[in-house]
């Protein structure tokens, strides 16, 4: 595990963007695994800035997003497809047909999950997976459970996740209760992973995830076993080593 300590959120965003940029520059047709949520927003802004300066080219890059809410379509401003369009894809030269987000409107969710896994497999897997971490230790929407779920699957969101995500919705009742998420196996098969964490709200769970026992009760703890894990965290989120 490589720990990169950042001074604050903007430093974290720049350092994380550097990790992604290195992959894009070294492997122009790489497959990026992407996350939504608040944490990577600054990193996406930085990538857009470097793209606009002419330092980055995304024309051959492919992307796979971790997850999507069930029941929200691409036009819904709370959907993760909409988030990705707004926060990254609309501002860079990635070919939209090279971007993938699970289809939360699929009539047959099980079939959609299988399609998504096959698609990841057909692309040759993920080169660099960007992850945030939920305050209950989830990665993607792999919630604390009795066992690690391997493949892309339908998940009932934990109450803690619904509560945390309600900040993006008008009311807590509007937060979808289910999502489609890439499984732990697909995440762990990424060649490299960059885990981002910011703010003291993440400090306890980061300590458990990185230095506690490996358990499906803290899904992110499995990352300790990844051979190429890069953690970019600000001082507040990684108190234990700062």
Q: Name the site residues for ligand F6R (rule: CB under 6 A).
A: 35-39, 66-67, 132-134, 138-141
Kindly state the smallest distance separating residue 190's Cβ from ligand F6R, in Å.
14
Q: How far is the CB of 141 from ligand F6R (least distance, A)?
A: 6
153 has catalytic annotation: no
Catalytic residue, from 65, 138, 142, 234: name it: 138
Nearest residue to ligand F6R by CB is 132
In this structure, the number of other CB atoms found within 10 A of the CB of residue 2 comes to 11
Output 54 or 179, the one with its CB closest to ligand F6R: 179
The CA distance from 219 to 198, in Å, is 18
> What stretch of H or E contains 103?
none
- CB of residue 36 to ligand F6R, shortest distance in Å: 4
Active site residue 138: yes
Closer residue to ligand F6R (CB): 57 or 235: 235
From the list 136, 153, 226, 234, the catalytic residue is 136
Q: Which of 68, 127, 143, 234 is catalytic?
A: 143
Q: Which is nearer to ligand F6R, 60 or 85 (CB)?
A: 85
- Tokens describing residue 234: 């600000």
First to last CA, the chain: 16
Q: Are strands 153-156 and 178-181 parallel, antiparallel or unpaired?
A: antiparallel
Which residues, 6 or more positions from 224, have their beta carbon under 8 angstroms from its beta carbon?
1, 209, 210, 214
DSSP 3-state assignment of 155?
strand
Question: Are 158 and 138 within 8 A, CB to CB?
Answer: yes
H or E segment to which residue 196 belongs: strand 192-197
Q: Which CB atom, from 13 or from 36, has the smaller least distance to ligand F6R?
A: 36
Is 174 among the catalytic positions? no
67: annotated active-site residue:
yes
Which structure tokens are listed for 183?
């499984």
Q: Measured from the CB of residue 203, what is the shortest distance to ligand F6R in angstroms?
A: 13
Q: Write down the least CB distance from residue 201 to ligand F6R, Å.
A: 8
Active site residues: 67, 136, 138, 143
């Amino acid at each position: 595990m490589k720990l990169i300590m950042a001074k604050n959120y903007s430093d974290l965003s720049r350092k994380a963007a550097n990790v992604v940029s290195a992959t894009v520059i070294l492997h122009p047709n790489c497959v990026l695994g992407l996350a939504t949520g608040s944490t990577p927003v600054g990193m996406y802004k930085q990538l857009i800035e470097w793209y606009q300066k002419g330092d980055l080219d995304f024309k051959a890059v492919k992307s796979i997003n971790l997850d999507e809410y069930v029941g929200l379509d691409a036009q819904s401003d709370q959907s993760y497809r909409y988030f990705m369009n707004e926060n990254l894809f609309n501002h860079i030269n990635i070919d939209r047909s090279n971007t993938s987000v699970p289809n939360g409107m699929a009539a047959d969710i099980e079939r959609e999950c299988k399609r998504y896994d096959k698609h990841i497999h057909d692309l040759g897997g993920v080169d660099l997976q960007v992850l945030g971490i939920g305050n209950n230790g989830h990665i993607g929407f792999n919630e604390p459970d009795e066992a690690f779920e391997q493949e892309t699957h339908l998940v009932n969101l934990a109450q803690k996740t619904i509560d945390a995500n309600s900040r993006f919705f008008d009311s807590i009742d509007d937060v979808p209760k289910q999502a489609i998420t890439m499984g732990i196996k697909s995440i762990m098969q990424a060649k490299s992973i960059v885990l981002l964490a910011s703010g003291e709200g993440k400090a306890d769970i980061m300590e458990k995830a990185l230095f506690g026992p490996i358990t499906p009760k803290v899904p992110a703890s499995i990352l300790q076993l990844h051979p190429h894990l890069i953690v970019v965290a600000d001082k507040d989120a990684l108190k234990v080593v700062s």
